[in-house]
Structure 1
């Protein structure tokens, strides 16, 4: 593991959900248990269509002052804020897109969790994998100074992305097709993105059926790329048969949605004329 570094994540931003009903409101919408959110402890979750397909991913953190902060994709934050506003009906909640006033950073390396708390920021250990470090939500333009004051060196976004890709962890709609992707094909079970004991939420029925009937036939795997990285969406073939599709990538690393048997097999897997070598990350449970 590298020494402590941080990367700014300009493609991520923040929505604030406030009001007396904020916890109950989100509890009925997203895949994780919002009652478990506490200072320094966040949950990772998804908002689904009624049919159980992916819409948005988010970290839900305690923002203080009777507010929950949703860290989510910047480009899609206004649409998510609008959707949440439509869902609130008579609930005593407020929804505010803070994309213009807050920014997001990831701190990674050995001992990142020992940084908490970080004065001037809302910070929490990444609930997906400890090795992904700490997320910090701070007023725009302040994250770099806050973290450098703690002796942490700034790294490029590509440095953090390399860690994420090697770990096999998805990054929102870069890896999950909107209104198509299933959570359990993309690691949300093992990566603590679904609470199986909470009450009902939108899209729960298909998610539960997928788990208990063992319907997962494809998974998102980390792959190494033996050549120039093909574009996201490039089809992957094994012996002339299509067995998957490339997702996000950087350099010689990428994620690929693959039939599980193809990922386990001897290969070779080919995408855009180059070979892909999949690995099964330690956290992944395969049937």
Structure 2
């Protein structure tokens, strides 16, 4: 990632959770331990179904007396509604700040130029009043600035950052094996554990109960993880959502996200992931095995 480039992630939205019960409220819902989220640290987390299936993923950042929720814009309204359903009588206030705040991403190298910045996943500092955090999933994704839209371009000018084509950022994320877009296509189609959340620092198995915790823990502790989400690279032809992926006449996966940044759920224990020419109905592809996954 170029040191002078910044990517304005217009596909992201910001929700804000505050109120007397906001800490306990989120702690009882999300897959990570909210005690990790402090003024100097942010975390990646998910909200699952009671059965442990994927619904939403997001980054949680401490802000004033509450928390920013950095989520994909395509999921923001549904996530907002889901949080409201869980709120019941809790003293929690929810706001959708997507029209006021924006997320901008830039390089790790640039992040380390700031005073007090540390090369620790999730490490969070302030630029004036606005949080800047090293992406808690993977440092190769660089840092994220969450800032009021009215201040964005003046701040970028002062930081000597030039707005660049976001497709570069999405391509990097796809190559890393981290879903950049299209999260709605994953809902209820795979377990949270199959989303590689352990390796992406999105699940804390020691925190106690959260929605979907029972099945998530069972998959982990009984070694029942047989499928994982991987980015796919098209070799020729085309692929589309729900295409079955075959190898030597045997079904080994399914395309869940199509388009420019495809992902599939793969039976990784039945396949050498370096294998090429996996076949779908109308194309062939290979799996991108990320360096951060160990088997």
TM-score with structure 1 length normalisation?
0.89
Tell me by how many angstroms 1:86 deviates: 2.3
Q: Tell me the equivalent position of 2:229.
A: 220
**RMSD, matched Cα:** 2.3
Residues 94 and 220 (structure 1), Cα distance of their counterparts in 2 relative to 1, 3 Å cut: same
> Mean alpha-carbon deviation: is it higher for 135-144 or for 34-43?
135-144
Report matched runs for 1:1-287 at 5 Å: 1-64=1-64, 66-108=65-107, 110-115=109-114, 116-119=125-128, 121-171=130-180, 173-174=182-183, 177-227=186-236, 230-248=239-257, 254-260=262-268, 261-264=270-273, 266-271=275-280, 273-286=282-295
Q: 2:228, 2:266 within 8 Å by CA — same for their partners in 1?
A: yes
Residues 114 and 21 (structure 1), Cα distance of their counterparts in 2 relative to 1, 3 Å cut: farther
Q: 2:244, 2:280 within 8 Å by CA — same for their partners in 1?
A: yes
Tell me by how many angstroms 1:250 deviates: 6.5
- Structure 2 distance, partners of 1:275, 1:160, is 25
Residues 197 and 266 (structure 1), Cα distance of their counterparts in 2 relative to 1, 3 Å cut: same
Residues 51 and 172 (structure 1), Cα distance of their counterparts in 2 relative to 1, 3 Å cut: farther
- Structure 2 distance, partners of 1:94, 1:29, is 15
Q: 1:54, 1:182 within 8 Å by CA — same for their partners in 2?
A: yes
Structure 2 portions without partners, runs of 5+: 115-124
Q: 2:44, 2:59 within 8 Å by CA — same for their partners in 1?
A: yes
Q: How many residues align?
A: 284
- SS of the counterpart of 2:127? coil
Q: Tell me the equivalent position of 2:117.
A: none
**Residues 174-200 of structure 1, C-alpha deviation per residue, up to 9 Å, x if partnerless?**
376212321221110011000111121
- Structure 1 distance, partners of 2:26, 2:130, is 23
> Mean alpha-carbon deviation: is it higher for 201-210 or for 112-121?
112-121
**Residues 86-115 of structure 1, C-alpha deviation per residue, up to 9 Å, x if partnerless?**
212232211111122222222135343444
Q: 2:75, 2:184 within 8 Å by CA — same for their partners in 1?
A: no
Tell me by how many angstroms 1:10 deviates: 1.5
Tell me by how many angstroms 1:75 deviates: 2.8
- Structure 1 distance, partners of 2:22, 2:112, is 27
Structure 1 portions without partners, runs of 5+: none
Residues 67 and 165 (structure 1), Cα distance of their counterparts in 2 relative to 1, 3 Å cut: same
> Mean alpha-carbon deviation: is it higher for 122-131 or for 260-269?
260-269
**Residues 58-81 of structure 1, C-alpha deviation per residue, up to 9 Å, x if partnerless?**
1110111x1111111223222222
Tell me by how many angstroms 1:224 deviates: 2.8
Residues 68 and 109 (structure 1), Cα distance of their counterparts in 2 relative to 1, 3 Å cut: closer
> Mean alpha-carbon deviation: is it higher for 253-262 or for 148-157?
253-262
